A and B are shown apart, each in its own frame.
Chain A
Amino acid sequence: MNTATAAAQYHDAVQVARSATPELDEESTSWLRRLASAGLAERQTAERELHDRLVRIALAEIRRRSASTPVTGPELDDVAHQAAGDAMLAILAKLAEFRGESRFITWAYRFVILEVSSKLGRHYWRNPPVTLDAAQWERLPDRLGLDPHQYAEAAGILAQVRYVVDTELTEHQRRIFIAVVVDGIPLNALADKLDLQRNAIYKVVFDARRKIRRALVAKGYLDESAAGQL
């Protein structure tokens, strides 16, 4: 980054932050000033410091998620460093968009947490416990958290759920619902596989749940009284 760009970026970042939050805390102001400093040495020192913290947070986050990820051993370090590097690039590119609505470091850490989340989602497909379109309907009771002794009693209403899924959802809704709910594929992993945003997957499942519920109420399997959100 050249000096003029850095100075302009600093000016924008600080002005935006000050206009949004007149009482921007000292630490946040310091980060903004140093990361967009016209002085190369000061800027590089701040970037190194922030990068080190992002790596540390990424490592901690991957460890926190270790039970639900197939990534292990030295590869965890690789993912953490990749996440921190990508987060760093995004933070520097969006520095002027920081509005001072939170502490700067919280805003910065959000980038690395979301990077870790996304990267681990991609790794799911290297050794997936279930393939796309497996449609393991026999696993549905377990997915819903039913105890084995409830399976027999639940069989009738779950057969109705399957009937509604087969007959009332669109093909796209059906595929997404089965992948996420029946087969238990994580949203991030499915979003990566289908090249969709996580929000798009969530919205499809959200709409499918409403549709299924409405159908089950209409058939008398669920109570109308609890149908306030229909």
Chain B
Amino acid sequence: MNEREMLEQFLRTDPRDVGCSEAMAVLHVYVDLVVAGQDAADRYPGVAAHLAACGPCGDDFAGLMAAVTSEQPQA
């Protein structure tokens, strides 16, 4: 990827992005959908857009996923 493409990617914003507050308010619902194998991004596209763009919220999502799946029975 050249420098223009990288800058373009960095500056790109998704109008569906709901922001940190709204994403964190439903994070538990989103995580349970993912863990259940359902299409959470389809049900909450604005949350999916935010988690992909916001590092700290993406990290919180990863943390909650790790917490929940650490207690799942191993297949």
Which A residues between 173 and 200 are near B, CB-CB below 8 angstroms? Answer: 186-188, 197-199
Q: Are A113 and B29 in contact (CB under 8 A)?
A: no
| Chain B interface, number of residues (Cβ within 8 angstroms) | 38
Report the minimum CB–CB distance from A37 to chain B (whole Å).
Answer: 23
User: A188-B56, A202-B54 are contacts. A57–B67 as well, Cβ < 8 Å?
Assistant: yes
Q: Are B63 and A61 in contact (CB under 8 A)?
A: yes
User: A117-B59, A198-B20, A222-B8 are contacts. A61–B67 as well, Cβ < 8 Å?
Assistant: yes
The yes or no answer to A135 lying at the interface (CB within 8 A) is no
Q: Are B68 and A198 in contact (CB under 8 A)?
A: no
The yes or no answer to A8 lying at the interface (CB within 8 A) is no
Offer 9 A-B interface pairs, CB within 8 angstroms, sorted by A. Answer: A103-B32, A113-B64, A158-B7, A187-B20, A197-B20, A202-B20, A206-B19, A209-B10, A222-B11
Given contacts A113-B60, A187-B56, 7 further A-B contacts (CB under 8 A): A106-B32, A107-B28, A113-B67, A144-B7, A210-B11, A213-B11, A229-B12
